[in-house]
Chain A
Amino acid sequence: MASSYATRAEKWFADRKQEERKRLLWVLLGAACLAVYPFLDSALGLNQMGQWIPIFVFVILALGLNIVVGYAGLLDLGYVAFFVIGAYGNAFITSPNSWFVQRGWIPEYLQSFWPAMALSWVLAAIFGVILGAPTLRLRGDYLAIVTLGFGEIVPDFYTNASGITNGPQGIGQIAKPPSIPLPGGREIGFSTIDQDNWFWLVLVVGLVSIFMITRLYDSRMGRSWQAIREDEIAAASMGINTVSAKLWAFALGASFSGFAGSIYAGYVRVVYPDQFQFSVSIIILAMVILGGIGNIYGVIVGAIIIGSFDRILATELTRPLNWMGEQLTWEPLSWLGEWLATHNLNSDRFLIFGLALVLIMLLRPGGLFPSSRRAAELSGDDDDDVDDKEDLYDVREENARLAGGNA
Chain B
Amino acid sequence: MVTEIEAGPPILEARGITKQFGGLIAVDEVDLNIATGSITSVIGPNGAGKTTFFNMIAGIYKPTQGTISFKGKPIFGGSGFGGTSLRPDQVTSLGIARTFQNIRLFANMTVIENVLIGMHSRMKAGAIGAMLRTRSVMREEHEARENAYSLLDYVGLGRQAQSTAKNLSYGDQRRLEVARALASGPSLLLLDEPTAGMNPRETAAMTAFIDKMRRELNLTVLLIEHDMKVVMGISDQVAVLDHGVKIADGSGAEVRSNPEVIEAYLGKGAAELSRQFDAPAAPVQSPQVEQLHPGANP
Within 8 Å by CB of B202, from A226, A237, A398, lies A398
Whether A402 contacts B202 by the Cβ 8 Å rule is yes
Q: Count A/B pairs, Cβ under 8 Å.
A: 158
Q: Which of B158-194 contact A (CB under 8 A)?
A: 161, 164, 166-171, 173, 180-181, 183-184
CA distance A235 to B93 in the complex (A): 13
CA distance A389 to B174 in the complex (A): 14
> CB of A355 within 8 A of chain B?
no
Q: Which residues on the A side are within 8 Å of B154 (C-beta)? A: 406
> CB of B145 within 8 A of chain A?
yes
Whether A407 contacts B130 by the Cβ 8 Å rule is no
Interface of B is mostly: helix
> CB of B116 within 8 A of chain A?
yes
We find that the number of chain B residues with CB closer than 8 angstroms to chain A is: 66
CA distance A377 to B165 in the complex (A): 13
> CB of A9 within 8 A of chain B?
yes
> CB of A212 within 8 A of chain B?
yes
Residue-by-residue, is A389-407 near B (CB-CB < 8 Å gives 1, otherwise 0)? 1100101001101100111
Whether B130 contacts A216 by the Cβ 8 Å rule is yes
User: Shortest Cβ distance from B7 into chain A, in angstroms?
Assistant: 30
Are A237 and B105 also in contact (CB < 8 A) when A224-B117, A395-B293, A398-B202 are?
Answer: no
Whether B120 contacts A238 by the Cβ 8 Å rule is yes
Whether B92 contacts A237 by the Cβ 8 Å rule is yes
Are A221 and B93 also in contact (CB < 8 A) when A7-B146, A227-B106 are?
Answer: no
Q: Which residues on the A side are within 8 Å of B282 (C-beta)? A: none
Whether A221 contacts B130 by the Cβ 8 Å rule is yes
Q: Which of B122-158 contact A (CB under 8 A)?
A: 122-123, 125-127, 130-131, 133, 137, 140-142, 145-146, 148-149, 154-156
Q: Which of A113-159 contact B (CB under 8 A)?
A: none
Q: Which residues on the A side are within 8 Å of B97 (C-beta)? A: 237-238
Whether B113 contacts A407 by the Cβ 8 Å rule is no
Whether A8 contacts B109 by the Cβ 8 Å rule is no
> CB of A177 within 8 A of chain B?
no
> CB of B254 within 8 A of chain A?
no
Are A239 and B92 also in contact (CB < 8 A) when A234-B105, A385-B166, A398-B171 are?
Answer: yes
User: Shortest Cβ distance from A237 into chain B, in angstroms?
Assistant: 5
User: Shortest Cβ distance from A128 into chain B, in angstroms?
Assistant: 12
Whether B88 contacts A248 by the Cβ 8 Å rule is no
A214: nearest residue on chain B (CB-CB)?
B131
> CB of A233 within 8 A of chain B?
yes
Whether A9 contacts B108 by the Cβ 8 Å rule is no
A392: nearest residue on chain B (CB-CB)?
B169
Interface of A is mostly: helix
Whether B149 contacts A406 by the Cβ 8 Å rule is no
Q: Which residues on the A side are within 8 Å of B145 (C-beta)? A: 9, 12-13
B132: nearest residue on chain A (CB-CB)?
A215
Are A212 and B93 also in contact (CB < 8 A) when A236-B87, A240-B120 are?
Answer: no
Whether A389 contacts B170 by the Cβ 8 Å rule is yes
Within 8 Å by CB of B118, from A236, A239, A376, lies A239
Whether A393 contacts B149 by the Cβ 8 Å rule is no
User: Shortest Cβ distance from A109 into chain B, in angstroms?
Assistant: 24
Whether B89 contacts A240 by the Cβ 8 Å rule is yes
> CB of A182 within 8 A of chain B?
no
Residue-by-residue, is B86-107 near A (CB-CB < 8 Å gives 1, otherwise 0)? 0111101100011010001111
CA distance A16 to B253 in the complex (A): 55
Q: Which residues on the A side are within 8 Å of B146 (C-beta)? A: 7, 9
Whether A399 contacts B149 by the Cβ 8 Å rule is no
CA distance A233 to B98 in the complex (A): 12
Are A393 and B120 also in contact (CB < 8 A) when A242-B89, A252-B127, A407-B209 are?
Answer: no
A242: nearest residue on chain B (CB-CB)?
B89
Whether A399 contacts B296 by the Cβ 8 Å rule is yes
Whether A248 contacts B127 by the Cβ 8 Å rule is yes
Q: Which residues on the B side are within 8 Å of A252 (C-beta)? A: 127
> CB of B60 within 8 A of chain A?
yes
User: Shortest Cβ distance from A224 into chain B, in angstroms?
Assistant: 6
Whether B169 contacts A398 by the Cβ 8 Å rule is yes
Q: Which residues on the A side are within 8 Å of B148 (C-beta)? A: 9
CA distance A237 to B59 in the complex (A): 8
Within 8 Å by CB of B58, from A237, A242, A373, lies A237
> CB of A231 within 8 A of chain B?
yes
Whether A233 contacts B104 by the Cβ 8 Å rule is yes
Q: Which of A39-91 contact B (CB under 8 A)?
A: none
User: Shortest Cβ distance from B104 into chain A, in angstroms?
Assistant: 4
CA distance A235 to B117 in the complex (A): 8
> CB of A219 within 8 A of chain B?
yes
Q: Which residues on the B side are within 8 Å of A274 (C-beta)? A: none
Q: Which of B201-251 contact A (CB under 8 A)?
A: 201-202, 204-205, 208-209, 212
New contact pairs (12) apart from A12-B145, A382-B107, CB-CB < 8 Å:
A9-B146, A9-B148, A10-B142, A216-B127, A216-B131, A221-B125, A223-B116, A231-B106, A233-B104, A239-B121, A393-B170, A402-B205
Interface residues, chain A, with chain B CB atoms under 8 Å away: 7-10, 12-13, 212, 215-216, 218-224, 226-227, 230-231, 233-242, 248, 252, 373, 376-377, 382, 385-386, 389-390, 393, 395, 398-399, 401-402, 405-407
Rank and list the top 8 A-B pairs by shortest CB-CB distance, nearest first. A239-B121, A219-B130, A239-B92, A9-B145, A236-B88, A234-B104, A407-B205, A230-B106
Question: What would be 21 A-B contacts, judged by CB atoms less than 8 Å apart?
Answer: A7-B146, A9-B149, A13-B145, A216-B127, A221-B130, A222-B130, A223-B117, A223-B120, A227-B120, A231-B105, A234-B104, A236-B60, A236-B89, A238-B121, A239-B122, A240-B117, A373-B108, A377-B108, A385-B167, A399-B296, A406-B156
Interface residues, chain B, with chain A CB atoms under 8 Å away: 58-60, 87-90, 92-93, 97-98, 100, 104-109, 113, 116-118, 120-123, 125-127, 130-131, 133, 137, 140-142, 145-146, 148-149, 154-156, 161, 164, 166-171, 173, 180-181, 183-184, 199, 201-202, 204-205, 208-209, 212, 293, 296
